[in-house]
Amino acid sequence: KILILDFGSQYTQLIARRVRELDVYCEIYAWDADAQDVKAFDPQGIILSGGPESVHMDNAPTLNEVVLEMEIPVLGICYGMQLLNDHFGGDVEGSEEKEFGYAKVHVTGESELFAGVSHKELDVWMSHGDKVKSLASVFNSIAHTSSTPYAACQHQSLPVFGVQFHPEVEHTADGRAILSQFVHQICGCESLWKTDNIIDTHVEAIRELVGEEKVLLGLSGGVDSSVVAALLHKAIGDQLVCVFVDTGLLRYQEGDQVMQTMADKMDINVIRVNAQQRYYDALQGESDPERKRKIIGELFIRIFERQAKELDDIQWLAQGTIYPDVIESAASKTGKAHVIKSHHNVGGLPEDLALKLIEPLKDLFKDEVRKLGVSLGLAPELVYRHPFPGPGLGVRILGEVKAEYAGILAKADHIFIEELRRHDLYDKTSQAFAVFLPVKSVGVVGDARRYEYVIALRAVETIDFMTARWAHLPYEFIDLVSRRIMNEIAQVSRVVYDVSSKPPATIEWE
Ligand code: XMP
């Protein structure tokens, strides 16, 4: 396994995902992690990430001494390479000018690091301000670009390497081969991190941990909790009890689908709580988005808690925490690594249930969770679904939530999604949905005028959901969806398409 020390690069998680894609397990620790913890993890190699700092700045992250002490291979990427050079007496130069984008790198001489690449000219991705001005004498340069003689380096006697460019980024054409060479050949890691193995080891670990005891899980219909359910069910069968709260704010017929998939098809113990009316009652008269979120979250906890108390002899509470959540909450001791925050997870779970916590997915990335899900028998359509916010339709019905609005919105949304799938556009958008606008506009059907609601369609393309571009769906397609919605849902007299990108707009309307 490989340890990645995080110096705050926006690409750190990407490095980890690339290593995992090479079927090798890895974890991310903060750059100033305790030497003991690093040794306890017992890595076969260490990768130093890039970072936004300059090695000369006060309080800049430094090279953790444990890195070289362990006498295992080290690969420094970008800031990582600069740090290694600084450490061994080279000179790192600050520069106002950033090099950002594609570059051509010429590989010179023989280097183990590039042994997996047959050509000498590589198209790589650069993203840095500082660079190595004079190489530490212990290093040999193994690659250059037209603007720097030191695009990559190798220690003369130790398995220590540096690259100025980013092999983890898709744009670096041979990035995968370079990382594979480091991880498999130089560090000697075997390809053991494969879906089937992951399932086997997790099943075993769950059985060991839980023994004969019972586990409670809140099912939401989302990917993570569904995969947790499938995995736990495989491990402990009927010792798993799921509670699924139908909030009345789910996608079209989602409540029935959850029951069909999890209870009927997979034979998982699921208790369905029909709480639709309780949600509509609780939300009545409330139009402030943040208060709506709070009401929805708190009501979930209350209902879940009540259910839990009715069940006897439950000892464990399962949660669908995944690895990125763990990395985010495990910031550096000095708070130096710049962690990009992902999104607010709604709800939280009951704290006073006095249950032990089990988080079977907490070492997995989302793409790994999805692969596991498919392997465990969940439908790919479910596993590869767009993200759906915790408060559900509650934040897609603008203003006050009513049962009637939720019904209209769920139908419109279903038509939109169905057509996206039919036209092979679903996977080309990152998130798509309908929004209910509680304003009435005039329409005409036959000879009669009607005065009905407005539906907005929203579709975006994004990598990280922090920024997003509105999806340029074909006009004919939007036309078709719009007509279907107005024809099939009598309470809608107008459909509009949202052409706002994020920023300044957000993806959701509330
Ligand atoms: P925004 O609207 O902030 O959304 O651009 C970014 C991503 O976060 C999702 N989102 C939420 N997810 N609870 C959630 O679990 C929420 O309250 C919430 N608000 C937004 C949104 O669907 C998008 O994927």
The least confident of 21-25, 149-153, 282-286, 463-467 is 463-467
282 plus 371 within the same structural domain: yes
Q: Give nearest CA residue, ligand 1 atom 22.
A: 389
Residue 348, pLDDT score: 52
162 plus 214 within the same structural domain: no
pLDDT band at 464 (very low <50, low <70, confident <90, very high): confident
Q: Give me 103's structure tokens.
A: 């570059």
152 plus 72 within the same structural domain: yes
Residue 446, pLDDT score: 84
Q: Are 141 and 150 in contact, with CB atoms under 8 Å apart?
A: yes
- H-helix or E-strand containing 77? strand 74-77
In a domain, residue 389? The reply is no
Q: How far apart are CA 66 and CA 70, in angstroms?
A: 6
Share of the chain above pLDDT 70, in %: 95
| Ligand 1 atom showing the smallest separation from residue 345 Cα | 15
Residues 6+ apart with CB under 8 A from 311: 214, 216, 241
Of residues 87, 128, 155, 166, which has the active-site annotation? 166
Of residues 78, 153, 187, 242, which has the active-site annotation? 78
Q: Give nearest CA residue, ligand 1 atom 18.
A: 389
Give the SS3 label for residue 49: coil
157 is in an annotated binding site: no
224 is in an annotated binding site: yes
With 50 as the cut, is the pLDDT of residue 395 above it?
A: yes
| Ligand 1 atom showing the smallest separation from residue 468 Cα | 5
Q: Where are the alpha helices (DSSP H) in 108-261?
A: 175-180, 195-210, 223-236, 254-258
Q: Give nearest CA residue, ligand 1 atom 9.
A: 389
Between the CA of 396 and the centroid of ligand 1 the distance, in Å, is 11
175 plus 226 within the same structural domain: no
Domain of residue 19 covers 2-186
Task: Establish whether residue 391 lines the binding site of ligand 1, counting it when its CB lies within 6 angstroms of any ligand atom.
Answer: yes
Q: Give nearest CA residue, ligand 1 atom 16.
A: 389
**In terms of DSSP bridges, do strands 99-107 and 160-163 run parallel, antiparallel, or are they unpaired?**
unpaired
Task: Establish whether residue 465 lines the binding site of ligand 1, counting it when its CB lies within 6 angstroms of any ligand atom.
Answer: yes
221 is in an annotated binding site: yes
Of residues 87, 128, 153, 168, which has the active-site annotation? 168
Number of domains in the chain: 3
With 90 as the cut, is the pLDDT of residue 352 above it?
A: no
* Measured CA distances, 286 to 112, 344, 396 (Å): 64, 21, 14
90 plus 227 within the same structural domain: no
In a domain, residue 297? The reply is yes
| Ligand 1 atom showing the smallest separation from residue 386 Cα | 24
222 is in an annotated binding site: yes
187 tagged catalytic: no
Q: Are 20 and 193 in contact, with CB atoms under 8 Å apart?
A: yes
Q: Give me 400's structure tokens.
A: 């006050």
Which of 186, 219, 252 lies at the terminal end of a domain, its last residue?
186
In a domain, residue 33? The reply is yes
Helix, strand, coil share (%) of the chain residues, nearest 5: 35, 25, 40
Domain CATH for 423: 3.30.300.10
Residue to mutate (ligand 1; options 300, 507, 509, 510; most atoms within 8 A of CB): 507
In a domain, residue 393? The reply is no
78 tagged catalytic: yes
59 plus 137 within the same structural domain: yes
71-97, pLDDT tens digit by residue? 999 999 999 999 999 999 999 988 777
Mean pLDDT, residues 441-468 taken together:
93
165 plus 231 within the same structural domain: no
Beta bridge partners of 454: 437, 494
Neighbours of 439 (CB within 10 A): 11
Task: Establish whether residue 396 lines the binding site of ligand 1, counting it when its CB lies within 6 angstroms of any ligand atom.
Answer: no
Which of 383, 410, 439 lies at the terminal end of a domain, its last residue?
383
DSSP E strands in 263-303: the ranges are 270-274
* pTM of the entire predicted model: 0.90
Which of 145, 163, 186 lies at the terminal end of a domain, its last residue?
186
191 is in an annotated binding site: no
226 is in an annotated binding site: yes
348 plus 255 within the same structural domain: yes
In a domain, residue 432? The reply is yes
Between the CA of 502 and the centroid of ligand 1 the distance, in Å, is 12
Query: Of 347, 399, 429, which is closest to residue 510 (Cα–Cα)?
Result: 399
207 plus 174 within the same structural domain: no
Give the SS3 label for residue 454: strand
Between the CA of 345 and the centroid of ligand 1 the distance, in Å, is 8
Q: Would the ipTM clear 0.85, i.e. be above it? A: yes
Between the CA of 390 and the centroid of ligand 1 the distance, in Å, is 8
Q: How far apart are CA 471 and CA 461, in angstroms?
A: 6
Task: Establish whether residue 394 lines the binding site of ligand 1, counting it when its CB lies within 6 angstroms of any ligand atom.
Answer: no
218-272, pLDDT tens digit by residue? 999 899 999 999 999 999 999 999 999 999 999 999 999 999 999 999 999 999 9
DSSP E strands in 89-128: the ranges are 91-93, 99-107, 121-128
Task: Establish whether residue 144 lines the binding site of ligand 1, counting it when its CB lies within 6 angstroms of any ligand atom.
Answer: no
Between the CA of 401 and the centroid of ligand 1 the distance, in Å, is 18
326-349, pLDDT tens digit by residue? 887 666 565 544 443 333 333 455
In a domain, residue 397? The reply is no
In a domain, residue 236? The reply is yes
Q: Are 188 and 44 in contact, with CB atoms under 8 Å apart?
A: yes
372 plus 342 within the same structural domain: yes
DSSP E strands in 74-201: the ranges are 74-77, 91-93, 99-107, 121-128, 131-134, 139-144, 152-155, 160-163
* Measured CA distances, 290 to 32, 67, 245, 372, 399 (Å): 37, 45, 21, 34, 11
Domain CATH for 125: 3.40.50.880
| Region of residue 231 (phi > 0: left; psi between -120 and 50: alpha; otherwise: beta) | alpha
Residue 332, pLDDT score: 59
In a domain, residue 440? The reply is yes
101 plus 17 within the same structural domain: yes
152 plus 261 within the same structural domain: no
Domain CATH for 352: 3.40.50.620
Q: Give nearest CA residue, ligand 1 atom 3.
A: 506
Q: How far apart are CA 82 and CA 102, in angstroms?
A: 20
Residue to mutate (ligand 1; options 291, 465, 469, 470; most atoms within 8 A of CB): 465
Between the CA of 15 and the centroid of ligand 1 the distance, in Å, is 25
Q: Are 386 and 431 in contact, with CB atoms under 8 Å apart?
A: yes
168 tagged catalytic: yes
